[in-house]
A and B are shown apart, each in its own frame.
Chain A
Amino acid sequence: MTTSSAGNEPTASAVARAAGDVVTAAPISFHGVGRAFGTGDSVRPVLRDIDLDVAAGEIVAILGPSGCGKSTLLRIAGGLDRPSDGVVAIDGSVVAPFDARSAVGFQEPRLLPWRTIAGNIALGLPRGTARDAGRAHVARLLELVGLADFAEHRPREVSGGMAQRTSLARALARNPAVLLLDEPFGALDALTRLKMQDLLLDVHAAEPTTVLLVTHDVDEALQLADRVILLGNDGDRPGARIQHTVVVPGTRPRDRGSAELAELRGRLLDGLGIDRHGSARGVAATTTIPHYPY
């Protein structure tokens, strides 16, 4: 399958039209959330003591090393998993299993192969949507993600980027108060990923919902989020908790090359245990100017 994002780029007018939908963003809060897997002696804590309040309409990125429980936290937020301790609440009421107020964009597109692109997006419509209203909403979303020309294609006939855009549109079809995205662009090539990030920002501008975004890409977090949460373990103690909270300065869209972001990027990479100057590998730091020893 091709990885290029062929097809119409979303237009400003499409975004404006989609803004006609009434989306009521809701705050989501985590209080003392912990999750352990296994029973008896083999209990393995993955998350502990997570306290986080996300305001309505805010975009929060969750960063962390591989396997630290980022996806688990997101699944708990969506009611796909239950916390062992603590409470997650959307708009003050506890999250129910498969909560209808949130929508999930999975790491893989997870499209039904026997349904068309339009049919897959329609799967996200809230139960009991009238047929005509549902069809109109799907048509708007197809425009929004630039897939109007591919409505009748099957998932296997489109590229990976288009499948991921379909998945995003399916999540948006639910009119979610909280949009949960689990590394939605992780499997895409670098160029398509940048385009998808811009698309997400356009969508957020048109339908300002609350967004929790799990990612392992520091640049992506800084580009998209209002706040970045860094998950990690305390030394050898099992169970990740929030290590840093970084408020990203400036308003979107941000300059991908700004020095301020570069500094933040360095701090976050440090937090992830990445040595940004290469000194661990015997490379002299590039920030100090070498001078002649003779």
Chain B
Amino acid sequence: MSKADAATTAARASASVDREFAAPVTQDGLGVAVAGQLGPSGVDRPERLPGSGIGGPAGEGTALPASSGGRRRLVDRRWFRIVGGALIPVALLVAWQLVSTSGLVPVSMLPTPEMVWLAAVDLAERGLLGLYVAISTQRVFLGFAFGAALGLAFGAVVGLSKLGDILLAPTLGAIRAVPSLAWVPLLILWFKIGEDSKVILIAIGAFFPVYTIVAAALRHVDRQLLEAGRAFGLRGLSLFTTVQLPAVVPSVISALRLALAQAWLFLVAAELIASSMGLGFLLVDSGNNGRIDRIFLAIILLAVLGKLTDSLVGLFERWAVRRWA
């Protein structure tokens, strides 16, 4: 075991940017590296015993030992996370600026960042930008809320009750098999071109990921834990809130994330087909008029809005994990 070995291990450990997933492995890696440098006595094993929990929500009174001599690793620092996450977007922006101004690609194919910015300012001055963003976000939130709520309810019924599974699962499976855009003509005929038809289409898009994932997760809750819960007198609602719900919280969160992404997808589909405002309308209108700067603007706005709403689910996740898991 040499210093060189230790150094490579440490380098590999800090090369990982994805802290949340790599942390357990890299922590061990670093532990080995420290032992290599300081000799076998460098790490006080017994002291690590009680709190060797890996970063988890350790209760108060847990003394988490400082594993690497009190120094926090680079990938654990907040500023590094922010800077690291911004690196690629900034690099893309710079590359875009260079390519679009170099004359390699005509501006009718690739507008400069400045043109896109000016298009945004122009739309904002006409009062359209805020309106489009607001109406699209509202449609996504409404559709997502209805779809996810129904998905949770149906997923719970199908996942928890055998009878519910027998009665509902085949029908819902068949409806899920319909390509969602096939609903568009029917929805327009039934609900006309208005808010209702769009919100319903988005709700359909948000419903199925939540329903599918929640039903499967509930069906696969550890049978041994369920039996233990029943053996200690839990039944019905108390069994659900004590064992089943906490066990499926992580699945519910990923289902909601997926549903939110689906909601934005269906928003653009709905607005592309029939609308007079919103980001999807901006896309199709700009496409018809050859306004490539506005197309870029709409795509960038969709990316930013999608990421922001996903972060909201992330906040909810932190609360839910603290509360339940």
User: When chains A and B are docked, how far (Å) is the Cα of A2 from the Cα of B48?
Assistant: 11
Residues of A100-118 contacting chain B, CB below 8 A: 100, 103-104, 106, 108, 110, 112, 114, 116
Instruction: Assess whether B232 is in contact with A123, with CB atoms less than 8 Å apart.
Output: yes
- Chain A contact patch, size range: 20 to 34
Contact for B232 among A154, A156, A170, CB less than 8 A: A170
Instruction: Assess whether B228 is in contact with A110, with CB atoms less than 8 Å apart.
Output: yes
Query: A77 to nearest B CB, angstroms?
Result: 12
Interface SS of chain B: helix, strand, loop or mixed?
A: loop
Query: B76 to nearest A CB, angstroms?
Result: 20
Residues of A143-165 contacting chain B, CB below 8 A: 150, 152-154, 156-159
Contact for A106 among B50, B57, B228, B234, CB less than 8 A: B228
Question: Quick check: is B308 within 8 A (CB to CB) of the other chain?
Answer: no
Given A98-B233, A126-B233, A170-B232, A112 and B59 touching (CB < 8 A)?
Answer: no
- Chain B contact patch, size range: 20 to 34
Question: Quick check: is A6 within 8 A (CB to CB) of the other chain?
Answer: yes
User: When chains A and B are docked, how far (Å) is the Cα of A158 from the Cα of B50?
Assistant: 6
Query: A124 to nearest B CB, angstroms?
Result: 5
Chain A residues within an 8 Å CB radius of B62: 152-153, 157
User: When chains A and B are docked, how far (Å) is the Cα of A153 from the Cα of B60?
Assistant: 8
Instruction: Assess whether B227 is in contact with A174, with CB atoms less than 8 Å apart.
Output: no
Query: B304 to nearest A CB, angstroms?
Result: 34
Given A114-B246, A153-B50, A124 and B59 touching (CB < 8 A)?
Answer: no
Question: Quick check: is A78 within 8 A (CB to CB) of the other chain?
Answer: yes
Chain B residues within an 8 Å CB radius of A174: 232-233
Chain A residues within an 8 Å CB radius of B50: 6, 150, 153, 157-158
Question: Quick check: is A281 within 8 A (CB to CB) of the other chain?
Answer: no
Chain A residues within an 8 Å CB radius of B53: 154, 156-157
User: When chains A and B are docked, how far (Å) is the Cα of A6 from the Cα of B45?
Assistant: 13
Question: How many interface contacts (CB-CB < 8 Å) are there between A and B?
Answer: 66
Question: Quick check: is B231 within 8 A (CB to CB) of the other chain?
Answer: yes
Given A98-B231, A100-B233, A123-B232, A154 and B246 touching (CB < 8 A)?
Answer: no
> Could you say which of B52, B234, B243 has the most chain A C-beta atoms within 10 Å of its C-beta?
B52
User: When chains A and B are docked, how far (Å) is the Cα of A112 from the Cα of B230?
Assistant: 13
Question: Quick check: is B49 within 8 A (CB to CB) of the other chain?
Answer: yes
Given A80-B227, A153-B59, A157-B58, A114 and B325 touching (CB < 8 A)?
Answer: yes
Question: Quick check: is B225 within 8 A (CB to CB) of the other chain?
Answer: yes
In the complex, residue of chain A having the shortest beta-carbon distance to the beta carbon of B249:
A114
Chain B residues within an 8 Å CB radius of A78: 231
Question: Quick check: is A291 within 8 A (CB to CB) of the other chain?
Answer: no
User: When chains A and B are docked, how far (Å) is the Cα of A112 from the Cα of B57?
Assistant: 15
Contact for B242 among A104, A110, A112, A158, CB less than 8 A: A112
User: When chains A and B are docked, how far (Å) is the Cα of A124 from the Cα of B234?
Assistant: 10
Instruction: Assess whether B224 is in contact with A106, with CB atoms less than 8 Å apart.
Output: yes
Residue-by-residue, is A113-137 near B (CB-CB < 8 Å gives 1, otherwise 0)? 0101000000110110000000000
Contact for A123 among B49, B56, B58, B242, CB less than 8 A: B242
Question: Quick check: is B61 within 8 A (CB to CB) of the other chain?
Answer: yes
Given A106-B224, A106-B228, A127 and B58 touching (CB < 8 A)?
Answer: no
Residues of A73-111 contacting chain B, CB below 8 A: 78, 80, 98, 100, 103-104, 106, 108, 110
Q: Could you pull out 18 A-B pairs where Cβ atoms are within 8 angstroms?
A: A2-B49, A80-B230, A98-B233, A103-B231, A103-B232, A104-B228, A106-B228, A110-B228, A112-B242, A123-B229, A154-B56, A154-B58, A154-B59, A157-B50, A157-B51, A157-B53, A159-B49, A174-B233
5 shortest interchain CB distances as A-B pairs: A152-B59, A110-B228, A157-B53, A114-B325, A114-B246
